Amino acid sequence: MNRPVIVELDACVHQIGTRTVGPASFRVGPGVVHGLVGRQGSGKTTLVNLVTGRLRPTSGTVRVYGRQPLAEGDEPETAIGFSPDEDLVGALSSTGYWKLRATVLARHGRDDREALDRAAGLAARLAAALSTPLGRGSSGGARRAAQVVAALMHAPPLIVLDEPAAGLDPVSAVTLGQILREHAAAGAGILVATPDLAWARRFTHTVSVVSAGSVAATRPSAQALGPTPTTVVHDGFWAAAEAFVDELDSPEADSESPAD
C-alpha cells in the first residue's frame, strides 16, 4: 500500500542564468523528518524555496498536498510552518514577532490564543537559545530560534525549515531535534535543510543528499550518513548532549537544590 505524500518533487529543475539546481526527486510524508543535507551552496535553499512556492521549477513538477505550491485557494499561512535561512524578525522582540504571526493566523481562522500558548511552551524548551533579548546585536541563534517557534506555533501539518539549528548552542540544537521528532510523531511532515550531517543523522528519519545542485541519493539517515569515523565521534557528542537535555528535563533535576 502506498504511503500518503505531502511533498513530492519529480525531476524538478530550477535554472537561473548559468546556475542549475536539479534534477531533484524526493517525497516527504506524514510522520517523517526528512533532511536535505549537503555543503553550503549545494542547492538546498533553492529546493526549499521550490517546495514553499517562492520559486517555480524550470522543468519537472513540485506538488504540495497534491497541487502546485501556492495554488489558488491555498492558505499557506496555516498549511505550512516555514522558517527560511534569512532574518524575518527584524527589529521586533521574540514575543512581538509571535504576536504578529498569531494575528496573521487569526485572519485565516486559527485560534491565536492557542498558538501563542504553544509558542510560550516551545520558547520555554528553547530557553537557552532565547535567553538573549532580540534586537540590534542579538545572536543569530536567538533570532533563528524565534523564527522556528513561529513556524511551529500553529502545529501545521507541513513544516519546512532552512538550517534551523544554525547558531544554536548544543543544548538548544538537541532540544530542537527532539521537538521536530515529536511533531512528526503527531503526524506532521517535516523538511529540514542542514549542512550538519551528524545532527541530521541523529534527528531525521530520511535524507536526500544534495551535491552540486542535484539530489544524489535519498536514503534512511543512518544508511546515507554513516557510520564514518567523523559521524561516530559526532554521534557520541549528540548522544551526550541529548542525555544532558533529558537530565535537565527530568523531575529529579527540578527537585534538586544547590548545596548550601
Round to the nearest angstrom and report the end-to-end CA distance of the chain.
Answer: 62
CB 169 within 8 A of CB 240: no
Predicted pLDDT at 212 = 83
How many residues in total does the chain contain?
A: 260
The three grid cell numbers given for residue 65, joined into one nine-digit string: 498536498
- Does residue 170 have a cis peptide bond before it, meaning omega lies within 30 degrees of 0? no
Q: What is the pTM of this model?
A: 0.83
Radius of gyration of the chain (CA): 19
Calpha distance 216→21 (Å, rounded):
12
Q: The domain 7-255 belongs to what CATH superfamily?
A: P-loop containing nucleotide triphosphate hydrolases (3.40.50.300)
Predicted pLDDT at 1 = 47
Residue with cell 514577532: 97
CB 154 within 8 A of CB 104: no
Buried b (16+ CB within 10 A) or exposed e, 50-72: bbbbebebeebebbbbeeebeee
**Torsion angle, CA of 83/179/63/35, rounded to 10 degrees?**
90
Q: How many CB atoms lie within 10 A of CB 26?
A: 21
Calpha distance 149→152 (Å, rounded):
5
Predicted pLDDT at 208 = 94
Q: What is the pLDDT of residues 222-235, one digit of tens each?
A: 887 766 544 444 55
Q: What is the pLDDT of residues 28-79, one digit of tens each?
A: 999 999 999 998 888 999 999 999 999 999 999 999 988 888 655 455 567 8
Predicted pLDDT at 209 = 92
What DSSP string runs through 184-210?
HHTT-EEEEEES-HHHHHHH-SEEEEE
Max intra-chain CA distance, the chain: 68
For the chain, what are the domain ranges? 7-255
Predicted pLDDT at 115 = 93
Predicted pLDDT at 229 = 42
The three grid cell numbers given for residue 7, joined into one nine-digit string: 511533498
Calpha distance 118→126 (Å, rounded):
12
pLDDT tens per residue across all 260 residues of the chain: 466 899 999 999 999 888 899 899 999 999 999 999 998 888 999 999 999 999 999 999 999 988 888 655 455 567 899 999 888 777 778 888 899 999 999 988 888 899 999 999 999 898 766 665 554 445 677 888 899 999 999 999 999 999 999 888 888 899 999 999 999 999 999 999 999 988 999 999 999 999 888 898 899 988 877 665 444 445 554 455 555 455 555 555 555 544 44
Predicted pLDDT at 136 = 46
The three grid cell numbers given for residue 213, joined into one nine-digit string: 545542485
Predicted pLDDT at 233 = 44
